[in-house]
């Protein structure tokens, strides 16, 4: 059984009070809290086993290398991929930039196209703007509907003879919309077009499998997977790896260096230069162990229950405007309040009652422009949240409504 009370006990920070109230942490879409197992594992490495990886034959280096490389295998199992297709990164942003610099930049010319959806996080927009500015690449945008849903056929219809890449999120960090990326990947592959999927949100909330999705690139970030910041990975299909040049130069990504030449290491090491985030990635591995001990299907079911309950409770507030309300969305709700209350003011009032939500544009300005709003509050739920916390959110919103009149 999914025992949320027992799970909450695994997260030390959930015991604290904020402004005299029990913490209600609803900012998981920005970053999730860490279980004790992750915190203790990272402390243990620093205290007892820390050394650089891949470069030493002494005991500590061997222990650190084994622990570090074991995470690649864990990520491969978590994503339904092979170890050779997993490149360690500091998070999704670095992973997407890796693809932009190492795969797209050498291959795309002025007039070539990248298809994007309006749902994208800035991390899956800005690297492509770099190519637009520097190489004359054309960005083609696909809109979502009023509910925040993205029609995969509209994405495929946007592919033209000069389209080289489709870059699309698996789950919106603003609306929780789940995109049918498998259909997009299948259709794009039939047209000879590569697909990059931003899995930063989706991989946290549901099982994902690269064989079923069919993406060429799939980015995940550790700090949303209940692991530490500065950790993450990107899945890169083998055939795409063969087309890529190195992104950063330095140790580990080379096989041999002479005065006149260099030879690259084999992938994935070819794309991992310098001393990595050793302890961060080990922490991510423990977080993956924790998630899989719960079962991603169980996590998804718990969050669906929270989503349905929150949708009903928030839907009963006729002065609250929820942006995007897709039927199959994740447990993420972005909203504004009728009247003059700004999202920042609402967030401040909620914080005074111990409730942490996000306020602003959520690194998704094109989507907010699409909805015609300047900023929203966002409540994003995770595996440790409860229906009582939904009730606390609703009560605090009602208080804010009364305060702002």
Closest to 114 measured CA to CA, from 154, 50, 166, 188:
166
Label residue 91 left, alpha or beta by phi (over 0 means left) and psi (-120 to 50 means alpha).
left
Active-site residue flag, 363: yes
Pairing of strands 163-169, 194-198: parallel
Query: Residue 263: what are its φ and ψ, rounded to 5°?
Result: -125, 140
Measure the CA angle with vertex 94, ends 384 and 135; round to 5°: 140
Query: Tokens 């209600």 label which residue?
Result: 24
* Burial state string for 367-391 with b = 16 or more CB within 10 A and e = fewer than 16: bbebbebebbbbbbbbbbbbeebbe
Q: Whose structure tokens read 């015609």?
A: 372
Q: Which residues pair with 140 in a beta bridge?
A: 115
HSE of 42, CA atoms in CB hemisphere, 13 A: 19
Tell me the backbone φ, ψ of residue 311, rounded to 5 degrees: -60, -40
Q: Are 324 and 176 in contact (CB under 8 A)?
A: yes
Q: What is the DSSP letter of 137?
A: P
Give the CA-trace dihedral at 346, 146, 210, 186, to 10 degrees.
Answer: -160
Which of 144, 185, 363, 377 is the catalytic position? 363
Strand locations in 258-331 (E): 262-264, 320-322
Q: Which residues are catalytic?
A: 363
């Amino acid at each position: 059984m999914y025992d949320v009370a027992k799970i909450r006990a695994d997260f030390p920070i959930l015991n604290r009070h904020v402004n005299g109230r029990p913490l209600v942490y609803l900012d998981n879409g920005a970053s999730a809290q860490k279980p004790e197992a992750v915190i203790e594992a990272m402390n243990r490495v620093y205290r007892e086993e820390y050394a650089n990886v891949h470069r030493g034959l002494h005991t500590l280096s061997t222990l650190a290398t084994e622990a570090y490389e074991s995470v690649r295998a864990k990520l491969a199992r978590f994503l339904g991929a092979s170890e050779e297709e997993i490149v360690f990164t500091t998070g999704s942003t670095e992973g997407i930039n890796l693809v932009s610099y190492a795969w797209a930049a050498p291959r795309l010319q002025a007039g070539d196209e990248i298809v994007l959806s309006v749902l994208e996080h800035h991390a899956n927009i800005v690297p492509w703007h770099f190519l637009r500015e520097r190489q004359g690449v054309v960005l083609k945008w696909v809109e979502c509907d009023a509910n925040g849903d993205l029609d995969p056929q509209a994405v495929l219809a946007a592919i033209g003879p000069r389209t080289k890449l489709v870059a699309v999120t698996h789950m919106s960090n603003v609306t929780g919309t789940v995109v049918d990326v498998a259909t997009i990947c299948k259709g794009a592959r039939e047209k000879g077009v590569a697909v990059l999927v931003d899995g930063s949100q989706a991989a946290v909330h549901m099982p994902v499998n690269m064989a079923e999705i069919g993406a060429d690139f799939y980015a995940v970030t550790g700090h949303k997977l209940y692991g530490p910041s500065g950790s993450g990975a990107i899945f890169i299909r083998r055939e795409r790896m063969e087309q890529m040049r190195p992104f950063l130069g330095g140790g580990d990504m080379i096989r041999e260096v002479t005065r006149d030449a260099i030879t690259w290491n084999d992938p994935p090491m070819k794309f991992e230069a310098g001393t990595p985030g050793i302890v961060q990635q080990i922490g991510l591995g423990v977080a993956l162990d924790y998630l899989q001990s719960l079962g991603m299907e169980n996590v998804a079911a718990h969050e669906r229950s929270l989503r349905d309950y929150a949708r009903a409770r928030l839907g009963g507030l006729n002065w609250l405007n929820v942006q995007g309300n897709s039927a199959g969305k994740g447990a993420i709700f972005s909203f504004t309040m009728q009247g003059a209350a700004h999202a920042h003011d609402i967030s401040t009032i909620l914080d005074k009652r111990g409730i942490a939500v996000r306020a602003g544009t959520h690194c998704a300005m094109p989507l907010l422009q699409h909805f015609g709003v300047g900023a929203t509050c966002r409540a994003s739920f995770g595996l440790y949240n409860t229906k009582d916390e939904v009730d606390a959110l609703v009560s605090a919103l009602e208080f804010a409504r009364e305060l702002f009149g």
